[in-house]
Structure 1
Amino acid sequence: MKTKKLLSTFAILFIALISGCATDDFNEVVGVCPVVSSTAPTNGAFGVPLNQIVLVNFNEEMNPETINLSSIIITAGDVVIPGTVSYSGLTATFTPTNRLTTNTLYTGRVTTSVKDVAGNALQTDYIWTFTTGLNPLVVSTDPANAAIDVSPNKIITATFNMSMNPATLNTSTFTVKQGTTVIAGTISYTGTMVSFTPTTPLDENKMYTCTITKGAENTIGTELASDYVWIFTTGLRPIVISTDPANNATGVALNKVIRATFNMPMNPLTLSATTFTVKQGATTILGAISYSGSTVSFTPSTPLLGDKTYTVTITSGAQNSAGIPMTNNYVWNFTTVIPVIVTPPPVATSNLFFGVFGGNAGITNQGLFTVVNGNIGTTAAATLVTGFKEVLTGDVYTVTPLNEGLVMKEIFAAAPAPGNATKAATALAGLNAARDAYISISPASMPGGLDPGAGELGGLTLAPGIYKSASGTFDITNGDLTLDAQGNPNAIFVFQCASALTVGDSAPSNVKLIGGALAKNVYWYVGSAAVINYAGGGVMSGNIIANSGVTLSSPANSTNASVTTLNGRAISLVSSVTMVNTVINVPN
């Protein structure tokens, strides 16, 4: 009974298989309906390459005679695509006669005329679609089309709208020409950008033509729709056309501002301490760089040294306003003037008898820490000398419990006592000597002074010489002033200011002596008044000869030990000298 049922089941299945396939001219013994198992491109595929060969895979071996252009059809809209069909294994192949068209929807159809080897036909037409990809486009170039003033060192780039096949970007598909001359270079590709690096810099002021041909393809083999062509023109390179000082110049002033003029406007950001250097031997000279028009200027922070050769270099990092650099470094030399030996003023040292002189107005001290290691004097009456005690004689000049300074030598003033006629005569002789000294260090007697810091001497280191304030005032408020005698103990420093001298501001400043410099050889010509470290403290150096008064420290420091030191002299021709807790060391 069970055997009968099993045979019946097999019979039903066999009949179903035969009746499920379309009728044909063959007598099928055992068969199944053929079906399309897969295609390439797949249904709905996008971005299909233009050189795509269409594949149709079946689930069983097919009758090759039924695989042809009538049973496998590819269309674009209503247009049938010409091609050839072949069959091998389980796969039918459609090879288009021509490349496919970009961004086009194609329809593939396998008709029911295809049959398997048993004669069973495809039950219904198999239909699928696919779309070809876009042509790649060049979306930007650098340089841009028609660009001018392009740097001869330019790396030429083009950016696409999609990823490209690097193998198709080479010297055949990316060319750069100047006229008919092909420019040698190397090509690289990253991201969506192709770069052409010329083997040697491009020529100046020339037009170049760049071409990327249709041979350039994207990653799926889609090429440019047409050759992409653009042009650009290189600019002229900047050159230095003149310098001041000129190359190999001699006798150059020590306060010289060094300048170079270019043949075109430059990019100021590329003119810096890196691209513009001044050296004396191996020593780099510090200075400030400025730019105006087509001229760059270098102002040394301190005067140059005498009789020295300096080398100036402007590197190829300097660029014009279009970004084009100089071809090579520009180097020139010059030699500074042999310095005139500043001889001591004829009467400035030998006849200066006083360490402090208060003109015809007297001398005042406040505080208990003032010490003058020398003589002081005034042509005024002794009553105008206040706050002092003479150590040698014990004479007192109006001292108080809070105001008593010491004079280690003598005090000279007119009567009343302890002043007298003899002392007054000595004071007058001292005043006349001071006037002679004042004239001897004046700009009229010693011309040619430099103003190295535009009136501000703080933070500078100066060599021996004559220095004159252009504005009439000298300040030492931005740090200390250092005077370097460069090993010469007889070196002279003369500072001339037609108006005021101010040393120190909210904090004290110092005048330092190095290289063998001596306080006795430093002179300060002051047309009006000198104020020295009004905030208290600090060390001043040199012989101050002022027309209208000298002030050292301030009353605010009278009750503390913030001592202000002067290694030199404080001489006023007319007005008084005021000291607050001041130590004055008079040079020999």
Structure 2
Amino acid sequence: MHALRTFFNAPKLGACTLLIAALSGCGGGDLDPVLGTPDITRVPTVTATSPVANTPIVTGVDIRSKVTAIFSKPMKAASLTPASFSLGCPGSTAVTATVSYDAATRIATLTPAAPLPPTTTCTATISTGVMDMTDVPLSAAFVWSFVTGPAAALDTTRPTVTVTLPLAGATEVPINTKISATFSEPMNPATLTAASFSVTNTTAGAAVAGTVTYVAASRTATFTPALAASLASGSLYTATISTAATDLAGNALAGNTASLPAAGNQVWTFTTGASTDSIAPEVIAISPVDADTAVCSATASVSATFSEDMDAATITTSSFSVTDGGVAAAGSVSYNALTRVATFAPTAATGLPADRGYVVTIAAGSTGVKDLAGNALATARIWAFSTGVTSCGTLVTTVDLGSAASFGAFGGAAGVTNQGINTVVGGNLGSTAACSLITGFHDASNAYTQTPLNIGAVNGSINCGPPAPGTSTTLAIAVQARADAQAAYNLMVALPPGTDPGAGQLGGLVLAPGVYTSAGGTFDVTSGDLTLDAKGNANAAWVFQSASALTVGLQATPRRVVLINGAQAKNVFWQVGSAARVEDGSTMVGTIIAPAGVTFSTAGQAIQTTLVGRAIGLTASVTLVNTTIVAP
């Protein structure tokens, strides 16, 4: 009788539940098959926003910005209205706006009818009235805030493309690859479509059908051909992102086909090989390391480095999760296409809670992370760590760059030269020489001896001496930067010398933070990649002292400097006694200061060379050939 009473005291079951063994298809795809209520494991969620939902809240947002949200699954467009997706500036003061939804990208965009009030805390709300395609709503309202900038601080800087995949000029590209581009700032997702991002088979003279998605967290747009392995073998392809692509303030793209202040398309080419890519990607480095028990909670970030270029759209908080006792830690996930590193950043400004245990999972299979050819991670990568104290170790040494820190490239008293149409410098560019010695570049205001074959975009400003466009003011900025760079160089020279573990050859080594000094006067990264391991300390630093030269890569064999376990490019410094050279297609990390200048790649090379750092020549020039510089 007890069992019978238990049955009759149980919740009543509907007809669909009683017949579940005999019938299929009862209820919606997001309903619990027994209770008929929404399955909380499949309810829609907001996976990313712009402006970013963060703690502390984002400040200085342009008053002309749109507000966007990306959902975890397809949503019912009719449920996204100004009533269900609203903005108050401040608080409950409603902003008149329209709301649109792009089904292809799962992005909802709120467009204010007028500029937002300046220096005001605005609050965006997505209510539970927003539903997926099976009428399952958000489990709770999603609310976040941001602060607008002053009225005078309008964003007039045009966005640029910082990374393209495949690289410009790449050959033997797999025929099943996707094509992607990463931007210098957040973009308006609604402007990134198959109309503004196109791919053409130049050999056959035919457009490639496909769709475009945009990942706000990584600022990456990806073109996916409509058919798998649909690219023709042995063919030249041209990818184009037009000026229809804009940032959130409405500034059109500054591509490599025109000089600022004019907008321009971004155009690059690549050539396919004869085969597909069927090799699964691997996780080749993790941070923190597995079973680490003393991770600094205040600066902890969790990262994974992949063996090949990944599809940013597949790297989310669902496929890259950090949990504490089975509960997901609050944070966001982004992917850096330059370094192939995916990073989980805690939402709280104070980092992860101290004295807690965490499990990190990078998912495999159909719902896991994938490369640009669609190959999934073969086996889930799972590791664990625990946080310790909240205070962390300090830098091995502090190298104060002063005003030179704002420069991506500085050519001493001899100028800076660009060759090629795919050079991008993140940060300022300068020289104490006359502006006539800055060749092949443009910034937001002026062009500097550009030709159709030599177009380099500078995201910051160009500072050099008269004649025009140089002025006494721009020369003074350059002179101060040169003095600050010299002071930083002198500081590094004066540091007590360190070890030389590879007898001048850094290739193939994994180095802990510290000072390293070449016994023979030169450092090479040519026999393999160099890995810098921060061991979970985001403040760790490296200083490399070379009395003579530095060489990274060989012309036929590019090399990389890889950062793992929390290492950051801003904390890597190279003091070079004469000249530094980074060969074709190599990826370099850190600030290079060399009296005799820095050269990237070889004239005529189309393959992209990359520096996540700064290239500073104290006396001689800096030469860039189809080079991307991202100042950390």
Range into which the TM-score falls when normalised by the shorter chain? 0.3 to 0.5
Q: Which has the greater radius of gyration?
A: 1
Query: TM-score, with normalisation over the residues of structure 2?
Result: 0.37
Highest RCO, 1 vs 2 (Cα 8 Å, sep ≥ 6)? 2
Q: TM-score, normalised by structure 1?
A: 0.40
